[in-house]
A and B are shown apart, each in its own frame.
Chain A
Amino acid sequence: MGGLLELDGLTRRFGVVTALDRLSFSVPSGQVVGFLGPNGAGKTTTMRAVFGLTDLDAGSVRWNGAPVGPAERRRFGYMPEERGLYPSMLVAEEIEYLGRLHGMGATDAASAARSWLKRLDVADRAGSKVESLSHGNQQRVQLAAALVHDPEVLVLDEPLAGLDPAGIDVIGQVLVEQAHAGRCVLFSSHQLDLVEDLCESVAIIDHGRLVASGTVDELATKGARRLAVRVDGDRQATWARALPGVTVSEVQGGEVRLVLDDSADSDVVLDAARAAGRVTEFVFGRRRLSEVFREAVNR
């Protein structure tokens, strides 16, 4: 199984608001692609466009070079941001029903529903009504509904939001497994540390435009040098704020992350740190995804 989901020049306007502005990127099979952006950037509109749930003023969505239509969408799996299940249906029957709407036979759908519920650790709730499940378990059921028909493309809007660590682990593993099995996996999240752990590549959008994309490694090593410094007695890194050519990127738990431009001298930075207190950490490093994100969207 392999393929390429291409989003090409997507443009969507709602009156005076431009939700998507010539947005283009692609999701290759075999990868988990993180889809990032601040609130209101256009992530959900983009995902809806993949499923024809919002029309486009321009641009197209293609699967293996051909425009995506109803037949292709049957082979896609979707988990919307605002979860959607029939509250009063039984869990297994609901997943089976959604599998059948994707073209599965009754027996195959029932079997796949059982299998996915087991894989997502909710098999014991197969005979319960959806509304009786906790938020986390409903989320697992929602993912099972997106996976039941063994889709070639998975588009998941905030699949990890509100989950406990166990839930995040299970769903994260499933996403990685799906990518390794040759599916295209695109998911959005605001949990950037998790995205960094799970994704090979990311696409970052802002105001409906693509502002950064590439593999996590490429983005992390791109650009100016990074320094992580920890100085006892100065957790707010006041010593670093006036250094020429140095920008404080993040201060977290006493560790300050600095961005050094071409004019900055790392020896000057070390001297300033030592003058401020005992230096317990001084490491050249990569950009974190959160830094990539902030720099891309200028926030």
Chain B
Amino acid sequence: MKALPVILAVLAVVVVVRLVLLRKRGSPASPLRWLAARVRGRRLFGDTGLVAWREIRERVRSRMFRVVTVILLAVVGAAVVIPTIHSGTTQSERVGVVAGSASLTAELRALARSAGTTVQLVGEPGLAQARAALGSGRLDMVVDGTGKILVENPVSASDTSAGARYVREVSLSLGEQRAFARAGLTPGQAAIVATAGPLPVESLKPGKAPRTTTEATALLGVILIFVVLTQYLTWTLMGVMEEKASRVVEVLLATVRPIQLLAGKVIGIGAVALAQAASLVAFALVLGEAVGSSLVHGAAPLVVAATLVWLVLGYAFYSWVYAAAGSLAERQDQVQSLALPLSAPLILGYIVSLIGVSSGNASLLVKVLAYLPPTAPFAMPTLVGFGEATWWQFLLSAAACLACTAAVAVVAARVYRAAVLRTGGRVRLRELVPAPSDAATGRVTRPAS
């Protein structure tokens, strides 16, 4: 994407500033020596990095992570492969022909092409032999030139597979030809009648356009963002709550600053989330390429990239909120009552975007929600899928989300700092307003003993 050089430049500036600041604080004389020492000690990102690394290691090791990953891979695999199975582009129909003719053979081959399949025609000496071959599975279908079509199982009208479509088209076409013959039409007249089509009906308002590849990718992207955000935000919430409930937070905060602990947790879980989502996307793309899925064609990769970007931005925004909420609770039931209101904007963005993608129209509501940080992670990839977001609109929404994330992080860090050492019940936000004696220090804690 065009924004990549900008992102890399910002990262480079951040690294240089950090090196300069550390040098001023009395770290080893050379930034390179400082860097080398950190790499040797595996402390490149300081305490925040250590906290994040522990989160990554523990999460990836957990049985829950492995089970969820396998399930998601299976779901993604099914979503990619099943449509291609139904399209049946590579399947060949074995058709037994009784009392055939050159024109019938040509007709059957032409119908196969129009149904998106190939056909293997087998001449059968009689209907009884053809019936036996059909029953034994050597044939998929039998066409009797005297006016009969046999299949092993009834063909449902809702079956969209290539084989079912072929049976329906052969049935319709041969039936028409028999009717034309009975009516005494010449081949020329029959051809004219056969090409008859309905008159076009024009509507004043535009109708629903057929779904494009990018829209289908956007649909999967929105679902992916929702599933991954829901899973990992819950982990963040639970992780903070568990640290508080197990009292390990008191040991950690004796040596690590609250913001480092909070940031390490958010970054660590976020890294696992991004890695899992990227793996799922990579798996989908590779599998899609292998089975010829439309997911990887056209402009879909751009939508995939937008999906991953908004997954990161969405997680960044919500993770602080969920982490702060986790610091208010110390029991599972308290977490559940906190999670419900937090997930409301997330669900709103998801539902509205899902309806937008499914209906084939980016509604005004989706266009508005695409610029609101709580709902943008769903609405903006939807607009990208519709091709209705320009690069500057995308960047504007991303910038708004980042700015809001920074503000949310500041508030969340304050809530976390004030609440995480309070034990003995769920902490209410109003309890965190400092009393006069606490105002000077900005910190509130219940008496300990």
Contact = CB atoms under 8 A, between A and B. Distances in A.
Interface string A48-71: 100111111100000000000010
A87 B438 CA distance: 33
Interface in B408-449: 421, 423, 435, 437-438, 440-443, 445-449
A55 B248 contact: no
Interface in B363-411: none
Interface stretch (B254-262, B273-281, B351-359): B254-262
Given A84-B249, A101-B252, A101-B255, A14 B54 contact: no
B47 interface: yes
Nearest to A50: B254
B422 to A, nearest CB: 11
A119 B50 CA distance: 26
B250 A19 contact: no
A13 B440 CA distance: 12
A106 B54 contact: no
A245 to B, nearest CB: 37
B176 interface: no
Contacts of A236: none
Contacts of B256: 101
A214 interface: no
A76 to B, nearest CB: 7
B interface majority secondary structure:
loop
Interface stretch (A26-34, A38-46, A246-254, A276-284): A38-46
Q: Which of A57, A82, A84, A86 has the most CB of B within 10 A?
A: A84
Contacts of B290: none
B33 interface: no
Contact of A43 (B43, B443, B449): B449
Contacts of B42: 105-106
A57 B437 CA distance: 7
Q: Is the interface of A mostly helix, strand, loop or mixed?
A: loop
Interface string A171-196: 00000000000000000000000000
Given A13-B437, A87-B246, A97-B50, A54 B251 contact: no
A15 B421 CA distance: 17
B247 interface: yes
Interface in A77-113: 78, 80-89, 97-98, 100-102, 105-106
B253 interface: yes
A86 B448 contact: no
B447 A78 contact: no
B251 A88 contact: no
A54 B443 contact: yes
B326 to A, nearest CB: 15
Given A53-B421, A70-B257, A87-B246, A78 B443 contact: no
Contacts of A145: 251
Contact of B41 (A17, A78, A86, A106): A106
Contact of A97 (B40, B54, B445): B54
Contacts of A19: 447-448
A80 B246 CA distance: 12
Given A45-B448, A48-B445, A74-B255, A53 B440 contact: no
A54 B51 CA distance: 22
Contacts of B253: 51-53
Nearest to A56: B441
A78 B251 contact: yes
Given A56-B441, A70-B257, A76-B254, A100 B50 contact: yes
Contacts of B443: 54-55
B251 A98 contact: yes
B251 A84 contact: yes
A39 B449 contact: yes
Q: How many A residues are at the interface, by size bracket?
A: 35 or more
Contact of B254 (A13, A73, A85): A73
Nearest to A85: B248
Contacts of B446: 14
Which of B246, B250, B446 has its CB near the most chain A CB atoms (within 10 A)? B250
Contacts of A54: 421, 443, 445, 448
A81 B251 contact: no
Interface in A149-186: none
Contacts of A39: 449
Contacts of B438: 55
Given A45-B449, A101-B255, A106-B42, A15 B250 contact: no
A45 B445 CA distance: 10
B107 interface: no
Which of B40, B250, B443, B449 has the largest count of A CB atoms less than 10 A from its CB? B449
Contact of B250 (A43, A53, A106): A53
Nearest to B51: A101
A45 B449 CA distance: 6
Contacts of A40: 447, 449
B252 to A, nearest CB: 7
A145 B246 CA distance: 15
A44 B448 CA distance: 6
A97 B42 CA distance: 12
A81 B448 CA distance: 10
B435 A82 contact: no
A84 B423 CA distance: 13
Nearest to B62: A88
A15 B50 contact: no
B152 interface: no
- By Cβ-Cβ distance, the 3 closest A-B pairs, closest first, are A55-B441, A84-B247, A44-B449
8 contacts: A15-B437, A52-B253, A53-B421, A80-B254, A84-B250, A84-B252, A85-B248, A97-B54
Given A84-B246, A105-B40, 17 more contacts: A45-B447, A45-B448, A48-B250, A52-B254, A57-B441, A73-B255, A78-B251, A78-B254, A80-B250, A82-B423, A83-B247, A84-B252, A85-B251, A88-B58, A101-B255, A101-B256, A105-B43
